[in-house]
Amino acid sequence: MKCVLFTSCVLVFYIHTVQNTILSRSLHDVDVRELEITSDVALRYAKVLVKSVMINRKSADQEVTFQVKLPKEAYITSFVIATDNRTIEAVIKEKKKAQEAYDKAKEDNVTAGLVSHQGVRDDLDLDIFEIEVNVAGDTEVEFRLEYEEFLQRRAEKYSQKLFIDLEQVIPSLEVKCSFKEKQKFKYFSYKTPYLKQRVIYEEGVVSKDGYYVNTIDWKPSTTEQEVASVGLEAPFVVEYELELEDNGGMVFMNNDGNFVHLFSVPCDESNVMRKQIVFVIDISGSMSGNPIHQVREAMTIILSQLRSTDYFNIIIFDDISAKWETSFQQANPDNTNAAKLFIQKYVKASGSTNINDALLSAIDLFSRSNSVERYGQIIVFLTDGEPTHGITDTSAIRQNVRDRNYVREECCKSTINTIAFGRNADINFLQLIAYENAGTLTIIKEIESNVADGELISMYNEIANPYYKNLVFSFEVDGAVLPETNITQAHFRQYDCKGELVISGQTRPGEKVLPTVKVVGARDDFTFNNVPTILILDDESEMLTRLAVYQRVKYFLKEAEIALDANEREKANKVALELSLQYGFVTPLTSLIVTDYAPTQTAGNVDYGFESQSYDLQYDKRLPSGHGKADGAHASVRANNSDKLCLPFNVLVTLLVISKCFVTIL
């Protein structure tokens, strides 16, 4: 029998005997009695708890294998297994220490669980893990997994997906969601796997503490589940948009000195910048079949969506690069129709992949275009492979692109948005190209449907509305400007009004920050100097702290990836590691371990795996010593330690390692 449980962090349970023989579905020796997904979102930051209760009705032991899928933007924060008289919970460790713990377990003849990382890079941009445990006969077991993620605004909406894919009826199935925001909901909608039409709410209920709140409690009956036939395949989707004012977004801060500036403004078509955009399309042989067809279809639609004030060009490449025109052309009907004919005639798959020449050719268009400061300048680069012709060293290509695209070592003439199409694309390389050139990476599924067409079009909609350029953020504290080292990012090349910029910062506890944002607009340069600043208290203060740290971890990991200097890379990784350990985030640098003889992790007892230094040293000396340390409420692993939830010794879960972005095979 197989039970498949998906959420936005997706759990898949494969239940089989200890001899690895798959059970017949009719036996029903292992039942999922309860699945409860609880998502609490405050200020766009989600804490999700997935709780499942299973019972092995057979007298013999059975192995249960979890397949855990996470979007790359989410971090696991806790994993707990419990039954009637024992609880085993995970502890956060640095990767090297996790390996040492595993080696010690082997020396002591302690039975180990198995966790392995499996990539499905042709499916979604996910990290995947497997966790095997042995469930004793006639035993009920509860599994609890927590993860956290930030809901980024894209194409004028915030979105959260909870995937539920079941192959058996669950007596108690429930999804509970709560959303709290300081701005009114412009719209709020959710769609269950059983509903074709969304359920729509408006601005939300105003709470006593001044939040706008929307809640969902979905409990499908067993009859509804049975009517769904094989099971649930469509995701549970929540989407919402907030009422925005043209005042530079909002700054949320708490008394601990953490603050986050969420910068977004409403789109006014009259203020959207004109843009220069070049589409660089891989037509090498590996694109043959469905991929090249999907690109042709999507490009036909995208060309129709260009504004008449935009200027565009197209470059196709295999062994060599070929331009549609020698310079940017205005997006009038004659030119867009001519470009569509070019796409249909010449976007055909053959040859190998010369990425270096194609990218440099695209950048050179901006060098020769007499580009105007008040234009958005964008490269969209799509490939399904890795470089196989010309310069194939990806480090050399990155350096060549930086040399050509940077001006006086500052980024950049054009933002470069990369699209990885299918299983063979070099995702890490394409992500670095995007990171280093103020762009984003999009991963497209390799499937035989029009979904890829839609994802390409959605990607374009996220970059089609350049609104401001050369944004500079500063924060005044007690009459002085907070040093840039105290915030994650002070400069942004370009802002699209359908998105949101996020800046995390820190100052001394109790200090108020006064934000200022200078921007280049479609017509004028101007400054936002009255950005609303809101003090966040109570439970949401804890959420804000975690959001601020989450953004810092993301920032330092990104800085480590793109660092050209080894010392700078080590420094950024060390800060990211310490933050991950202090706040219990499973990142590429950390693991969660659960072992029968390991002491429970407590705050202030973090095993760093190196001589610990406060990450104050990476910020300005204005900050107090010891800031950012996890307190009792922010222990590295947080779990409900109920005396009633425990595991007997014959439920063998003696060592578990969960790690992100790397392969761990125990």
Mean pLDDT to the nearest integer, 286-311: 92
Question: How many residues does the structure list for the chain?
Answer: 666
**C-alpha Rg value of the chain to the nearest Å:** 26
- According to the model, what pLDDT value does residue 66 have? 61
DSSP, res 36: E
Q: Is the peptide bond before 411 cis (omega within 30 degrees of 0)?
A: no
- According to the model, what pLDDT value does residue 129 have? 63
Instruction: Give the residue carrying structure tokens 């196709």.
Output: 316
- According to the model, what pLDDT value does residue 638 have? 31
- According to the model, what pLDDT value does residue 234 have? 67
Angle, helix 427-436 to helix 538-562, in steps of 10 degrees: 100
Residue 89 vs residue 626, higher pLDDT: 89
Give yes or no for residue 581 having a pLDDT over 60: yes
Alpha carbon of residue 309 to chain centroid: 33
Reported confidence tier of residue 318, pLDDT bands at 50, 70, 90: very high
Mean pLDDT to the nearest integer, 168-196: 90
What is the Cα–Cα distance from 434 to 427, expressed in whole angstroms? 10
- According to the model, what pLDDT value does residue 102 have? 67
- According to the model, what pLDDT value does residue 183 have? 94
- According to the model, what pLDDT value does residue 605 have? 40
Bridge partner list, 69: 10, 128
Listed in sequence order, the residues at least 6 apart from 565 whose beta carbon sits closer than 8 Å to its beta carbon are: none
Q: What is the pLDDT of residues 112-139, one digit of tens each?
A: 443 444 544 444 555 666 666 667 778 8
Q: What is the pLDDT of residues 605-655, one digit of tens each?
A: 444 443 333 334 334 433 433 333 333 333 233 333 333 333 333 344 445
What is the Cα–Cα distance from 537 to 253, expressed in whole angstroms? 9
DSSP, res 136: -
Q: What is the pLDDT of residues 445-486, one digit of tens each?
A: 765 555 556 788 889 999 999 999 999 999 999 999 999 999
- According to the model, what pLDDT value does residue 491 have? 97
Residue 99 vs residue 542, higher pLDDT: 542
What is the Cα–Cα distance from 208 to 217, expressed in whole angstroms? 21
pTM for this model (two decimals): 0.86
Contact between 98 and 591 (Cβ < 8 Å)? yes
What would the two tokens of residue 174 be?
């429930």
What topology is assigned to 276-463 in CATH?
Rossmann fold (3.40.50)
What is the Cα–Cα distance from 135 to 19, expressed in whole angstroms? 13
Give yes or no for residue 197 having a pLDDT over 80: no
- According to the model, what pLDDT value does residue 601 have? 45
Give yes or no for residue 572 having a pLDDT over 60: yes
Reported confidence tier of residue 560, pLDDT bands at 50, 70, 90: very high
What is the Cα–Cα distance from 345 to 343, expressed in whole angstroms? 6
b/e sequence 392-402, b meaning 16+ C-beta within 10 Å: eebeebbebbb
For 40, how many CA atoms within 13 A lie in the half-sphere containing its CB? 8
Tell me the percentage of the chain whose pLDDT exceeds 90. Answer: 53
The string of DSSP letters for 43-79 reads TTEEEEEEEEEEEE-SSS-EEEEEEEEEETT-EEEEE
- According to the model, what pLDDT value does residue 104 have? 75
b/e sequence 436-453, b meaning 16+ C-beta within 10 Å: bbbbbbbbbbbeeeeebb
- How does strand 274-282 pair with strand 375-383? parallel
Give yes or no for residue 15 having a pLDDT over 50: no
